[in-house]
Structure 1
Amino acid sequence: MKKQLLLFAFSALALTSCEDDNIEAYELDMMKGDWKTSKTEIISGADDKTVIFSETPSGCSEKDNTHFRTDYYTSYTSYTGVGADCQVNETVEGTYTYDPDTKDLTLTYNDGSAIPYRVVVLTNTELKLMMLVGNIDVDGDQIVDNNYITFKR
């Protein structure tokens, strides 16, 4: 009986001390691949619920693509054109950093521009980011409103 109790105690200790140290790798794996912008929104900073402005891409901008790899490489490709005649307008490459504790994601493109975001939603099919800089008071209530970008696969 003492051996079973001792074995149980060591098993419980081992199981509770094994934290998932690989959360970042798991989330980077979910993030990797191609993402298309499905919606941009400005949401009230007062309640973080009221949508002040919402826009879905149309025309060639529906093809705009953000790509992530697990080696911290990222790229953004934008398209332009008329009707079905869409051509690559620009591709910008760079790197990113990601903190799984704070969910902060910073994209740094080769032109030197660094854009900080907070990951709000991350699933296999949806990525929603909140911009951390450049937000302004859009609705005039003296509270800075939040910009969100939602991506889909």
Structure 2
Amino acid sequence: MKKQLLLFAFSALAFTSCKDDNLEAYETGILQGDWKEVKTEIISGKDNKTVLQKTTPEGCTAKNTLFFRTDYYVSYTAYDGSADGSDCHFAAKNEGKYTYDAGSKIIDIQLKGEEDEPDHMIFRVDMLTQTELRLAQTVGNYDKDGDKIIDVTYITYKR
């Protein structure tokens, strides 16, 4: 009986140690591919529901693409051109790496800028499906509505 109990305990330990790795692999698999920004919202920190400001990309910026691979490579491709989006052209591509912690849902995107210094952008993954990615900014938030509670910026991407 003691041997069976000991075997069960080791099996449970092994199963739980693999759980986060499997979840991370699953979620980075979903993350893989091209994402286009569809909206940015500043949400009240007081109730985490009230939208204080909403912006949507227009013209050529609507073509900007965030790209992830499962080997933790990330790139951001930007486009420039006319405000109505009729004459867009490639403007820049920044590449880098990202880290992702499935337990805390934190993604750290490190893109190299023009000076080759990594630019860290840290987000909490608020939603991740096959077609939608919603990131909550963790650094640089401020009190938009003056209620002395920091409000949160959310960026939504779609495939």
**TM, length-normalised to structure 2:** 0.84
Aligned amino acid, residue 120 of structure 2 = A
Q: CA deviation at 1:110?
A: 1.7
Q: How does 1:1-153 map to 2 (within 5 A)?
A: 17=12, 18-19=15-16, 20=19, 21-82=21-82, 83-111=85-113, 112-153=118-159
Q: CA deviation at 1:43?
A: 0.3
Distance 2:56 2:36 in 1: 11
SS at match of 1:22: helix
Deviations 1:76-95, CA, capped at 9 Å, x for gaps: 01111013110111111010
SS at match of 2:144: coil
Distance 1:27 1:72 in 2: 12
Distance 2:74 2:99 in 1: 10
Distance 2:131 2:145 in 1: 31
Q: CA deviation at 1:57?
A: 1.0
Deviations 1:46-104, CA, capped at 9 Å, x for gaps: 01100000111111111010000000000001111013110111111010000000000
Aligned-pair identity (%):
49
Q: Which consecutive residues of structure 1, in runs of 5 or more, have no partner in the other structure? A: 1-5
SS at match of 1:30: helix
Aligned amino acid, residue 94 of structure 1 = G
Structure 1 consecutive aligned stretches of length 4 or more whose deviation exceeds 6 Å: none
Distance 1:84 1:107 in 2: 31
Deviations 1:6-25, CA, capped at 9 Å, x for gaps: 9xx99xx59x8344341110
Aligned amino acid, residue 37 of structure 2 = T
CA RMSD after TM alignment: 1.7
Q: Which consecutive residues of structure 2, in runs of 5 or more, have no partner in the other structure? A: none
